[in-house]
Structure 1
C-alpha cells in the first residue's frame, strides 16, 4: 500500500509538472491520466479507507485555504457565500435526490438523497486555479473560495443524516434541523477555541520549525475533536484556520515564511494525489456497479441525467438568486439615498428609531458615507460562477464512505450504483465544466476596472502608512542618541528611499551594526502600523498579506546580515 501511494505521488507530480509547462489544467490532466491508467491490465487497485481521505487529506487542504483567506473579505461576501455554500447544497440535495429516485430503477427517495448529498458539494480547486490565472475579479474569487470552505460541512452533515436514515442508525439528535445547527455552532466554537490556544502557545515559541510543526497538527486535531462530539469537523478546521491566519501577523517573520512555504508545498502534493486517485478508481467502480445487474450503457445514461441535473440546478439557482440580489441592492440604495437626503424612514424603521435611537445613529452614518453596499454580480459573472461546479475530493470520500450494511445486517441498497454515479459526475464535471471554463472566461472578457483602481489606492495607502511609521521610528532613534555620528547616520537614513538599501550601503561603515539594528526596528514599526490599519478597516486584508510577505523577506535578510561580512 505504501509503495503504491508513493508511486502515485511520483507520477502525479510528474504529470503536474508537465501540465504546468504546457499550460494545461493539472487537475483535469491528472484525472484523465489516472482514468486511463486504471485500465492497465493487472494494475492493482489503490483503495484508501474513506476515513483516511476525510481525516488526512481534507483537513490540511481546508486549513491551508482558510489561513490564506481574508476573513474580512469572507464576512463582506458572507450572504453570497452562504447562499452557494449552504443553501445551494440543500437545494441540490433535494432536487437531485428527487430526480435520482425517479430515474434510477429500484432506488427509494431516502437512498437517492444519499446519492444527492454525495454529489452536492463542488470542489473549487480547479475553478480557483483557472480564475487566478485568468485574472477573475477578487470579489468572485472570494465567493468561490468561501463557498468551497463551507459547502463540504453542509454536504457531509446531510450525508450523515441521510445514511443514518437508510441504515436505521440513530444520531444523538434525531431532528435534522437541530442536528445541523448543533454541528455548525459546536464545530465553529471548537475551531475557534483550538485556534486561540495554539495562537497563544506559538507566541511563546521562538523556534520557527516547531511553530510550523504545531500548525501542521491543528487541522487534524480540530477535525477529530469536532467529529468526536458529533459536530462538523470541516467547520472546526476552517474556524481554526481563520483564527490563526488572521492573527499570524503577531508571530515571528521566520515562522510565517516557513509556514507559508510548507502549506503551499503540502497543497501541491495533496491536490495532485487526490485528482490522480479519482481517475484510478474508475475502472474498479465500473466493475462493481455492473455486477449489480446494470449494463455500462445504462449506468452511463443514468449518470448523464444526474450530471445534467447537478449542472442545471446550480445555473438556475445562481441566476435566480442573482436577480433577487440585484433587486434588493437597488431597493437598499434607493432607501439609503432617501435617508441621506433627510426623508422620513418607512413606518417600521421609524418606530424602531424613535424607540431606541438606533435609526438616527444609522442615518448619521449614512450621511457620512459610512455604509457600503456590495456590488451585485453581473450576468457574465453569474454565468462563470454557475459554471464552476466541478466535484472533487469530498464527493470521492463520501461515496467511498457509504456504509456496507444497514443496522439489520442487510447490504446498503444501491451502494455500488451510487458510487458509480458519484465518480461519473465527478469526472464529468471536471471534463465538461473544467475544460470549457477558461474559454468561457476569455469569451466573456470578465474584468473589473474599479478593482484595479481600488487595489492601486490600497497599495498607495499602505506605502504611506509604512513610510510614516518608518520615519517615526528613525526619528525616535535619532532623538534618543547622544553620539553625534549615530545621529548623523540616522539623519542620512531619513533621506534615503529605502531603509533596507540604507542598511546594505552602510553595512561596511563603522556604524553598520547600528544601521542594521535600526533597519530591523523600522521594519517592525512598519508591520505594526500596517496591521493596525487593517484592524481599523483602513487597509484591505489581502493587500496586507501581500505586503507582509515582502516585509517578512526583508526582515529575514536583515536578521541574517553579518556586519562587515563582505568588507575588503
Structure 2
C-alpha cells in the first residue's frame, strides 16, 4: 500500500509542480526531480524500488510516442544529415571521450566498463528537452533540432552500452561489430514500426468507440517496444516509427477522434513525465545513501566528467555551426549564440539513470562489476548537472543572449497554411451542385463564413454562429455546404503536414482549429 500511496502522491505532486512551474517559469520535470530528492530526506519516508529492467520499457514508449507524434516523415527526410550528426555521431564521440577520461581516472575500470559509462551519459533526454525548451520561447528551428536529436540518440547509446556490458562480462573488448549490430537493429525496428502502424490502422477501423480507439494508441507504443526488444532490434526506433506512421495515415475526417486523442495524450504525457522524474529523484537518493561517505572521494572524477560532457557537446556543435554556414544549412546551429543554447539544452534523463541502474552487480566469476560504484555516482552527477542546472538557468540565459522568439515565424507559417485551407475550401465549393440549390441569402451567408474561416484559423478563436432558420431545407443545405468546405480545408492541411517544408506542430495547430470548428457545427 505504501508503494501505491507513493505513486499517487507523485502524480498529485506533478500537478502541483506544473502550476508552480507556470508561475516561476521553470520546467516542472526539474521541480519534480528536486522535490523527490528532498522528500527522501524526511525520516520515515517510504522506500520505493523499481527493477532497472522496467524503467525504460515503462516510461520510454509513451514519452517517445508522445514526442514523435509532433513530427513527420518529411521532417526526417529533410533533416537526415542533422539526425546522423547529432543523434549518432555526437553520441559516439561523447562516449569515446568520457570512456577515455574514465579509463585514465578510475583504477581498474577497464576499457569496456569505461565505454559503458560513456554510453550512459551520452544521450540527451527528449522528454527533458521538450519540457524545458518549450517554455522559454526558444526559436522553433532550434527546438526542432533538439527533438530530432532526442528521438534517436537513445538507440545508439543503448546499443553501445549493451555491447560494452557484454564485453565486460565475457572479458573481451568492444569491437567493430557494434556498427552492423546497430544498423541491423535499426533497420529491423523500422520494419516493426511500419507493421505496427499498419496494424493499428486496421484495428481502429474495426473499433467503433472513439475512446477505445484513443486507448489503442496507448497500448501500441508498448507493444512496438517489447516486440522490437524481443527480436533484438531497437525498441526506441520502433516506437518512433510507429508514431510517424500513425500520423502519416491520419484521415482528414477524423476531427472528433483527433480532439479526443490529443487531450488524452496531453494528460498521459504530463503525468508520465512527472512520475518518471519523481522516480529518478528517488533512485538518485538511493545511490547517495548506498555509497555513503565514499561518495566524497568520487566528486572530483564526477566533476571532470560533467565538464567534459558540456565541452564535447559545445565543440561538436561549434564544428557543425561552421559547416552549416558554409553550406547554408539552417537545420544546424549557425552562430555562437545558438551553439551555446543547444549545448545548455543537452539534458540527460531517464535513459542515463536506467542504463546506470541496469549495470550487473557482479561478473560471471562472482567478482564485482569493475568500478560499479564510481560509474553510478558519475552517471547521477552528470544527470543532475545537465538537467537541474540548465533547467533552472535556461530562461535567464535566453534573456541574456536575447535569443527568445516572438513567434512571428510560426505566425507566418500558420498564415500560409490558413490561406491554403481557405483556398481549398473555396475551390471545393466553387462548382459544387449544392451551391446551386441554396437560396440567395444562404449563398451570401456561406461566403461570409468562408471569409471568417481564415481569421478563425489564425487567432485560434471559435465563433459558434447560429444559422437563421427560415426554411428547413435551406438550413440543411447550408450545413452541408459548410461541411464540404471544412472537409476540403482539413484535407489540404493534412496533406501539407506531410510536405518537407511544413512544420508539423504549426500544421497541427491549424488542423485543431478546423477540427474544433467542425465539432461546433450543429448536427
- The structural deviation recorded for 1:46 is 1.2
Q: Is the 8 A contact 1:477 1:490 kept in 2?
A: no
1:458 equivalenced with 2:457 (yes/no): no
Q: Please show how residues 70-81 of structure 1 align to structure 2 within 5 Å.
A: 70-81=72-83
**Cα pair 2:192 2:224 within 8 Å, conserved:** yes
Deviation at 1:432, TM superposition (A): 2.5
Q: 2:421 touches 2:492 (CA, 8 Å); kept in 1?
A: yes
- Decide which moves more: 470-479 or 519-528: 470-479
Compared CA separation, residues 416 and 229, structure 1 to 2 (3 A) = same
Q: Choose from 481, 489, 502 the match for 1:518.
A: 481
Aligned equivalents of 2:234, 2:7: Cα separation in 1 = 28
Q: Of 473, 488, 505, which aligns to 2:428?
A: 473
Which is worse superposed, 258-267 or 488-497?
Answer: 488-497
Query: Alpha carbons of 1:373 and 1:113: their partners in 2 closer, same or farther (altered >3 Å)?
Result: closer
Distance in 2 of aligned mates of 1:502 and 1:415: 63
Q: 2:361 aligns with which of 396, 404, 419?
A: 404
Q: SS of 2:112's equivalent?
A: helix
Tell me what 2:296 maps to: 297
Taking a change above 3 Å as real, the CA distance of residues 40 and 552 of structure 1, as seen in their structure-2 partners, is: same
Q: 1:69-148 counterparts in 2 under 5 A?
A: 69-148=71-150
1:389 pairs with 2:346: yes
Return the offset for 1:552.
0.9
Stretch moving more, 502-511 or 416-425: 502-511
Q: Which has the larger radius of gyration?
A: 1
1:140-191 Cα distance to aligned partner (Å, 9 max, x none): 11110111111111111111111111112999x9921111111111112211
State the distance in 2 between where 1:64 and 1:533 align: 21
2:349–2:383 contact (8 Å) kept in structure 1:
yes
Q: Contact 2:87–2:149 (CA<8 Å) still a contact in 1?
A: yes
Note if 1:228 corresponds to 2:181.
no
Partner of 1:59: 61
Cα deviation for residue 486 of structure 1 reads 4.3
Secondary structure at 1:133's aligned position in 2?
coil
- State the number of aligned residues: 510
Q: Equivalent residue for 1:47? A: 49
Deviation (angstroms), 1:24: 2.6
**Does 2:312 align with 1:313?**
yes
* Separation (CA, whole Å) in 1 of partners of 2:390 and 2:488: 47
The Cα shift of 1:203 comes to: 4.3
Q: CA 1:532–1:16 in 2, change beyond 3 Å: closer, same or farther?
A: closer
Report the Cα offset of residue 223 of structure 1. 0.3
- C-alpha distance 374-50 of structure 1, shift in aligned 2 (>3 A): closer
Residues 458-480 of structure 1, C-alpha deviations (whole Å, 9 max, x = no match): 33332332223222333444557
Q: Is 1:489 matched up with 2:452? A: no
For the structure 1 residues 396 and 501, does the alpha-carbon distance in structure 2 shift closer, same or farther, using more than 3 Å as the test?
A: closer
- Asked whether the 8 Å contact 2:348–2:383 carries over to 1, the reply is yes
Structure 1 pair 204–554 and aligned structure 2 pair: CA distance change class (3 A): farther
Query: Could you say which residue in structure 2 is the equivalent of 1:437?
Result: 394
Q: What are the Cα deviations for residues 245-275 of structure 1, in whole angstroms up to 9, with x where unaligned?
A: 2322446111111111111111110111122
Residue 458 to residue 552, structure 1, CA distance change in 2 (3 Å): same
Calculate the TM-score normalised by the size of structure 2.
0.90
Give 1:211 shift: 1.3
Is the CA contact (8 Å cut-off) linking 2:78 and 2:500 kept in structure 1?
A: no
**Contact 2:63–2:127, Cα closer than 8 Å, also in 1:** no
Question: Match for residue 459 of structure 2?
Answer: none
Match of 1:504 in 2: 466
Q: Contact between 2:72 and 2:498, CA under 8 Å: does it hold in 1?
A: no
Q: Can you give the 5+ residue segments of structure 2 that lack an aligned partner in the other structure? A: 454-461
- Tell me if structure 2 keeps the 8 A contact 1:45–1:284: no
- Write the deviation string for residues 275-324 of structure 1: whole angstroms up to 9, x where unpaired: 2222222332123234xxx7232122221121112111111111123223
**Closer, same or farther: CA 169–472 of 1 in aligned 2, 3 Å:** farther
Q: Tell me: CA distance 1:100–1:512, structure 2 relative to 1, closer, same or farther (3 Å).
A: same
Q: Residue 16 of structure 1 aligns with which residue? A: 18
Partner residue, 1:29: 31
Residue 16 of structure 1: CA displacement? 3.0
| Residue equivalent to 1:165 | 167
* Cα distance in 2, alignment partners of residues 432 and 480 from structure 1: 61
- The 8 Å contact of residues 130 and 438 in structure 1, kept in 2 or not, is answered as no
1:31-78, Cα deviation, whole Å (9 max, x unpaired) = 222111122223232121123211111110000100112432333222
Q: CA deviation at 1:384?
A: 0.6
Specify the SS of the correspondent of 1:504: coil
Q: Give 1:378 deviation, angstroms.
A: 1.5
The answer on whether the counterparts of 2:96 and 2:118 sit within 8 Å (CA) in structure 1 is yes
Match of 2:179 in 1: 177
The corresponding residue for 1:212 is 214
Match of 1:278 in 2: 280
Structure 1 residues 388 and 540, CA gap change in structure 2 (3 angstroms) = closer
Is the CA contact 1:66–1:245 (under 8 Å) kept in the aligned structure 2?
A: no
CA contact (8 A) 1:114 1:163 kept: yes
8 Å contact 2:320–2:333 — kept in the other structure?
no
Could you tell me how far 1:240 is from its partner in structure 2? 0.7
Gap change, CA 1:17 and 1:509, over 3 Å in 2: farther
Does the C-alpha gap of structure 1 residues 537 and 317 become closer, same or farther in structure 2, counting only changes over 3 Å?
A: closer
Tell me how far apart the structure 1 counterparts of residues 221 and 41 of structure 2 sit (CA, whole Å). 35
Once the two structures are TM-superposed, the CA of residue 373 in structure 1 deviates from its matched residue by: 7.2
In 2, Cα distance between equivalents of 1:104 and 1:502? 68
